[in-house]
Amino acid sequence: MRPDTLGVIGLGAVGGSVAWQASLAGVPRVLGFTPRPAEGVAAVRAGAISDLAPSVRFLVERSDLVVLAVPPAATFELFAPVARHLRPGALCTDVVPAKERIVQAARQAGLGERFAGSHPAVALARATFDGAEPAAFRRALVYVTPAGDDDAPAREVADFWATVCDAEPVILDAADHDAIVAWTRHLPRVVAALLARSCSADGPRGVTYGPEAREVSRPALGPVEVARDLLLLNRDAVVAALDDVETSLGGLQRALRDADAAALEDWLEEAASWRRRLEP
């Protein structure tokens, strides 16, 4: 899908990158809306958007594809007005990295066959437009999740990511997506936060923590509000992953308690073997 008019609601790093790349890729008109005036001005000056829309309704009524590039709570709030004003034949997607509850809400709002969820698996340095990069999605994995029985909207949205943003989209069920990102994105953040909290509450005072503790706990530095919302959105899959982690941790505890060197070595080797496979 190559829209004649693309509408992007939210011009932070992700939304700004989508809009900017679409403009560079030759989309005739790129409309942007943001409640942050400075963000809108920056997007206009950079040439990321053709025009700054005065309202959500103005943007939605004129767009062939609407991208909701806002935090989860705002995404849920936008479904109803988008459903009311989306013109016939137009589609909508979002960028929230937890999908099952998103697609359920889209269906409940009446978007159904006019919506497919998206999750571009990219990490941008800053959340504001200053962090936008036109090539942010080049060769990047983008998950696309159907919202209705017909997967045609998902195919159209996937084609947008591929042809306009030069990404590599993968279409899959929302529940399957959430099970994957529980392990690849959300669990690492939880483990980092767990280490940081444990060091803060129970670790020795007045010591210098080495590179291991610093690197493993680094993901805990991410925005707390964003992590909170995503963990709550994907809580079922994250809880299931934590159950598996608890089982694995129990094996480690038993090996240490019993001074079982062989079991401990097996436990550590299994971890090291998996990590080696991630190396280029």
Instruction: Give pLDDT tens digits for 68-123.
Output: 999 999 999 999 999 999 999 999 999 999 999 999 999 999 998 999 999 999 98
What pLDDT does 56 receive? Answer: 97
Q: Please check the confidence at residue 149 and state whether its pLDDT lies above 90.
A: no
* pLDDT band per the 50, 70, 90 thresholds, residue 226: confident
DSSP H stretches of helix in 47-151: 56-62, 72-85, 100-108
Cα 195 from chain centre:
23
Q: Return the exposure string of 102-137: e unless at least 16 CB atoms fall within 10 Å of the residue's CB, then b.
A: bbebbeebebbbbbbbbbbbbebeeeebeebebebb
* pLDDT band per the 50, 70, 90 thresholds, residue 16: very high
Q: Please check the confidence at residue 186 and state whether its pLDDT lies above 90.
A: yes
Contact 105, 76 (CB under 8 A): yes
What pLDDT does 127 receive? Answer: 80
- The vertex-171 CA angle with 226 and 86, nearest 5°, equals 70
What pLDDT does 13 receive? Answer: 94
d(CA 165, CA 262): 50
What pLDDT does 126 receive? Answer: 80
pTM for this entry? 0.90
Fold of the domain spanning 177-278: 6-phosphogluconate dehydrogenase C-terminal fold (1.10.3660)
Q: Is 214 exposed, middle or buried (0-12, 13-18, 19+ CB in 10 A)?
A: exposed
Q: Please report how the helices 37-46 and 13-24 are oriented relative to each other, as an axis angle in degrees rounded to 10.
A: 30
Q: Please check the confidence at residue 125 and state whether its pLDDT lies above 80.
A: no
DSSP 25: T
Q: Please report how the helices 187-202 and 235-257 are oriented relative to each other, as an axis angle in degrees rounded to 10.
A: 50
Instruction: Give pLDDT tens digits for 228-276.
Output: 999 999 999 999 999 999 999 999 999 999 999 999 999 999 999 999 9
User: Residue ranges of the domains in the chain?
Assistant: 5-172, 177-278
Which CATH code fits 5-172? 3.40.50.720
What pLDDT does 222 receive? Answer: 85
* pLDDT band per the 50, 70, 90 thresholds, residue 60: very high
What pLDDT does 150 receive? Answer: 85
* Token pair listed for 279: 């190396």
What pLDDT does 279 receive? Answer: 85
Q: Please check the confidence at residue 32 and state whether its pLDDT lies above 90.
A: yes
What pLDDT does 123 receive? Answer: 83
What pLDDT does 264 receive? Answer: 97
* pLDDT band per the 50, 70, 90 thresholds, residue 223: confident
**Dihedral of the CA atoms 75, 81, 85, 88 (nearest 10)?**
50
Instruction: Give pLDDT tens digits for 187-211.
Output: 999 999 999 999 999 999 989 999 9
* pLDDT band per the 50, 70, 90 thresholds, residue 280: confident
DSSP H stretches of helix in 86-186: 100-108, 152-163, 174-181
d(CA 78, CA 82): 6
